[in-house]
Amino acid sequence: MASEIAKAIQFLSDEKGIEYSEVLEALETALAAAYRKDFGTKQGNYFVKFDAETGDMDIWDEKTVVEDIEEGVLEQAQEELVALREKAREEYRELTEEETAHLPQFNPKTDLMVKDAKEIQKDAKIGDLLKIEQTIPGEFGRMAAMTAKQVIIQKIREAERNNVFEDFKEQVGQIVQGTVHKRDRGGNILIDLGKITGFLKPEEQVKREQYRPGVRLPFFILSIEMGPRGPQIELSRTSSKMVSSVFEQEIPEIDEGSVLIKGIARDPGNRSKVAVFTEDDSIDPIGACIGQRGSRITTIIEELGGEKIDVIMWDENPEIFIKQALSPAKVQKVELNEQTKEADVHVEEDQFSLAIGRGGQNVRLAATLTGWKINIVQDGEKKVSSEDDEGVIKEKLEGDVPVEDTTEEISEDVAVEEEKDAKATKVTKDSKEEISTESTEASSEGGEKMENEDEEVSEEEKK
**Gap between the Cα atoms of 435 and 427, Å rounded:** 8
Assess if residue 84 is contained within a domain.
yes
**Gap between the Cα atoms of 57 and 337, Å rounded:** 80
Of the three residues 207, 238, 269, the one that is the final residue of a domain is 238
Tell whether 288 and 410 lie within a shared domain.
Answer: yes
Tell whether 179 and 206 lie within a shared domain.
Answer: yes
The secondary element (H helix, E strand) that includes residue 143 is helix 142-169
Tell whether 216 and 325 lie within a shared domain.
Answer: no
**Gap between the Cα atoms of 2 and 6, Å rounded:** 6
Nearest to 19 by CA among 117, 142, 159: 159
**Residue 47, domain CATH:** 3.30.1480.10
Tell whether 395 and 260 lie within a shared domain.
Answer: yes
3-state secondary structure (DSSP) of residue 443: helix
Tell whether 140 and 216 lie within a shared domain.
Answer: no
Assess if residue 233 is contained within a domain.
yes
β-strand partners of 198: 191, 233
Tell whether 194 and 226 lie within a shared domain.
Answer: yes
3-state secondary structure (DSSP) of residue 12: helix
Question: How many domains in the chain?
Answer: 4
Assess if residue 249 is contained within a domain.
no
Assess if residue 123 is contained within a domain.
yes
Tell whether 156 and 232 lie within a shared domain.
Answer: no
By the 8 A CB rule, do 65 and 114 touch? Answer: yes
Assess if residue 170 is contained within a domain.
no
Burial class (CB in 10 A: 0-12, 13-18, 19+), 107: exposed
CA 281 to chain centre: 36
**Gap between the Cα atoms of 376 and 385, Å rounded:** 6
Tell whether 301 and 439 lie within a shared domain.
Answer: yes
Q: Domain span at residue 211? A: 175-238
Tell whether 436 and 318 lie within a shared domain.
Answer: yes
Of the three residues 193, 208, 238, the one that is the final residue of a domain is 238
Sequential pLDDT tens for the chain (463 residues):
456 778 888 888 888 888 888 888 888 898 898 888 888 888 899 999 988 888 788 999 999 999 988 878 888 888 888 888 898 888 888 888 888 888 888 888 999 999 999 999 999 999 999 999 998 877 777 887 788 888 888 888 888 888 889 889 989 999 999 999 999 988 999 999 988 999 999 999 998 888 999 999 999 999 999 988 889 999 999 999 999 999 999 999 999 999 999 999 999 999 999 999 999 989 999 999 999 989 999 999 998 989 999 999 999 999 999 999 998 999 989 999 888 999 999 998 888 888 888 888 999 999 999 999 998 888 766 677 777 777 667 666 665 544 444 443 333 333 333 433 433 333 333 333 433 333 344 444 444 443 444 444 344 444 3
Tell whether 188 and 141 lie within a shared domain.
Answer: no
Assess if residue 245 is contained within a domain.
no
**Gap between the Cα atoms of 20 and 11, Å rounded:** 9
Task: Please state whether the predicted TM-score (pTM) of the whole model is above 0.85.
Answer: no
CA-based max dimension of the chain? 101
Tell whether 275 and 350 lie within a shared domain.
Answer: yes
Q: What ranges in 177-223 are assigned the alpha helix state H?
A: none
Measured over the CA atoms of residue 60, residue 62, residue 67 and residue 70, the dihedral's sign is negative
Assess if residue 463 is contained within a domain.
no
Assess if residue 198 is contained within a domain.
yes
Tell whether 137 and 48 lie within a shared domain.
Answer: yes
**Residue 182, domain CATH:** 2.40.50.140
